[in-house]
Amino acid sequence: MKINVLITGAHGQLGRSLQKMKPPHWAVTALGSKQLDITDAQAVQEQVRALRPALIINAAAYNAVDRAEQERERAFAVNAQGPLNLARAANEAGARLVHVSSDYVFDGHSRQPYDEQAKPNPLNAYGESKLQGEKWLLREQPHAWVLRTAWVFSAEGQNFVAAMLKAAQQGRPLRVVDDQTGAPTFAGDLAQAIIALAGLAMAEPRSRAAAGGPAADGSRREGGLGPQRVPHPAGGVYHYSGSTALTRYEFARAIFQAANVVAADPAGTARAAGAVDPTGTAWAAGAVDPAGTGELQAAQPSTSSGDHPSGGHPGGESAARTQQRDYLDMLSPIPSSDYPSATVRPKYSVLSCSKMAALGIPPKPLAESLPGVVRALMASR
C-alpha cells in the first residue's frame, strides 16, 4: 500500500535527493518554497489537511550561515517557526515528522565526536535558530525524528564542493581554513538514511521482521527474526553525517585531487576501457593522500553502488599527478583568524553516528561519493 509523503524544501540538495531515491511505495508530494512557505502557519495547515500525509520530511531551511547574523529574524522564521508550524499541522493530521538539524548547534570545544546526549551551545545565529527549531518541534511532537547532519554537498545547489571548483576553475588562488573540522555528508547518503529510518519507524513490527530488517546491533538477518528483536527507532534526536572527518582545507585538497583525476580523464574513458580497478576503489586507495593525514586512505574503500555517483580514475597515474599539482598548488591553509567573517564557527563539529549505525544505517566514507559529485560538477560547467 502506498503511503502519502510530503517533502518541504523540495528544490534544495536534500529535497532533490529524497525525490530521486524515494521508495516505490511512497506517493510523494514535493513542494518548493514558492509552493509551500513553511513560515506561513495557515498555508502549512491547509496543505497538510488537504494532502493528509502519513509522513512529512522537512528539507526546508535557511542555510546562509553568515547572512543569518544580519537576518536573524528570517533565520528563526524558517529554522524555528517553520518546523513548529509543520509539527502542529502534522499532529492535527496524525502525520509523523522527520526534521533535519545541524552540527552547528555545538560550540566545537570538544575533541571527540558529539553524540546525541552532548549539550548544544551554538556559537552563531544560524546554530541558535536550528536549535530552537529542534526544541519547538520536539515539544510539539516528541515522537518526531530530528536528524542532525553536517557539511552537506551534492552535484546540485550551493555547497563547499561547488564553491571550491568554481573558484579553482576561475584560476583564483584559494586560502582555506585549516582549523575547522567536520564530516562532509553527501546529500544522497542523507536522503537514503532518512528513507531507511522512516521505513523502520513506520513499518509494522511484523513486516519489519519478515523483511529481515536490521537488528539492534546493526547486522542484517534473513527472516526468522522475532518482532521483539527488530529496532523501532523512538522519536528524538539522531546524528547522521559522513564517516570521514577532516578540516575544510583537507576537504578542499580531497576535492582538488578528485578534480585532477577528472581533468586527466575528462571522458571517464579509463573506467570504460576497463583500465581501472573495477571495484571503483582506486580513488580511496590512490597514491596521494588528499587530506595529508592518511585519513581518507584509512577510510574503508568500498565499491561504488548504483546509489552513488561513481568516480573515474586515470589510466595513467603520472598524468593525474601532473594535473594534480596544477589544482593543488592553488590551495593554501590559513587559520580562521585570517578569514574575514563576522560569524564564529565551531572549530570541531564531528557527529557520532553510532545511534543510527546501531539501527543498521551506518555513515558512509567521503571517498564513495566525492569523485562522482566532482565529475558531475565539472561536466556541468
Ligand X SMILES: NC(=O)c1ccc[n+]([C@@H]2O[C@H](COP(=O)([O-])OP(=O)(O)OC[C@H]3O[C@@H](n4cnc5c(N)ncnc54)[C@H](OP(=O)(O)O)[C@@H]3O)[C@@H](O)[C@H]2O)c1
Would you call 240 a catalytic residue per the annotation?
no
Q: Is residue 78 close enough to count as binding ligand X by CB under 6 A?
A: yes
**Cell numbers representing residue 119 in the block:** 549539550
Pattern 101-130, ligand X, x by CB under 6 A: -xx---------------------------
Cβ distance to ligand X smaller for residue 80 or 282: 80
Contact 178, 250 (CB under 8 A): yes
Cβ distance to ligand X smaller for residue 80 or 152: 152
**Cell numbers representing residue 357 in the block:** 549505525
Cell 552513488 belongs to residue? 308
**Cell numbers representing residue 352 in the block:** 557520532
Cell 586507495 belongs to residue? 285
Q: Is residue 181 close enough to count as binding ligand X by CB under 6 A?
A: no
Q: Is residue 59 close enough to count as binding ligand X by CB under 6 A?
A: yes
Name the residue among 70, 54, 51, 210 with its Cα closest to residue 126. 70
Reduced to 3 states (helix: H, G, I; strand: E, B; else coil), residue 36 is coil
Q: Is residue 134 close enough to count as binding ligand X by CB under 6 A?
A: no
Q: Is residue 157 close enough to count as binding ligand X by CB under 6 A?
A: yes
Q: Is residue 9 close enough to count as binding ligand X by CB under 6 A?
A: yes
Please report the sign of the dihedral spanned by the C-alpha atoms of residue 359, residue 364, residue 368, residue 372. positive
Segment near ligand X (CB under 6 A); pick from 31-39, 277-285, 336-344, 350-358: 31-39
Return d(Cα 116, Cα 240) in angstroms, integer.
Answer: 10
Q: Is residue 14 close enough to count as binding ligand X by CB under 6 A?
A: yes
Q: Is residue 33 close enough to count as binding ligand X by CB under 6 A?
A: yes
- Out of 54, 55, 61, 123, name the contact with ligand X by CB under 6 A: 61
Q: Which amino acid is at 240?
A: Y
Q: Which amino acid is at 334?
A: I
Cβ distance to ligand X smaller for residue 63 or 260: 63
Pattern 321-350, ligand X, x by CB under 6 A: ------------------------------
Largest distance between two CA atoms of the chain:
62
- Out of 28, 37, 85, 87, name the contact with ligand X by CB under 6 A: 37
Reduced to 3 states (helix: H, G, I; strand: E, B; else coil), residue 42 is helix
Q: Say if strands 55-58 and 185-186 run parallel, antiparallel, or are unpaired.
A: unpaired
Name the residue among 379, 377, 185, 367 with its Cα closest to residue 282. 367
Q: Min. distance of Cβ 210 from ligand X in angstroms?
A: 33
Return d(Cα 31, Cα 8) in angstroms, integer.
Answer: 5
Q: Say if strands 181-182 and 246-247 run parallel, antiparallel, or are unpaired.
A: antiparallel
Q: Min. distance of Cβ 59 from ligand X in angstroms?
A: 5
Cβ distance to ligand X smaller for residue 192 or 323: 192
Q: Is residue 191 close enough to count as binding ligand X by CB under 6 A?
A: no
Q: Is residue 45 close enough to count as binding ligand X by CB under 6 A?
A: no
- Out of 18, 47, 57, 62, name the contact with ligand X by CB under 6 A: 62
Q: Which amino acids are annotated catalytic?
A: 126
Could you list the residues that contact ligand X (CB under 6 A)? 8-9, 11-15, 32-33, 36-39, 59-63, 78, 82, 100, 102-103, 149-152, 157, 187
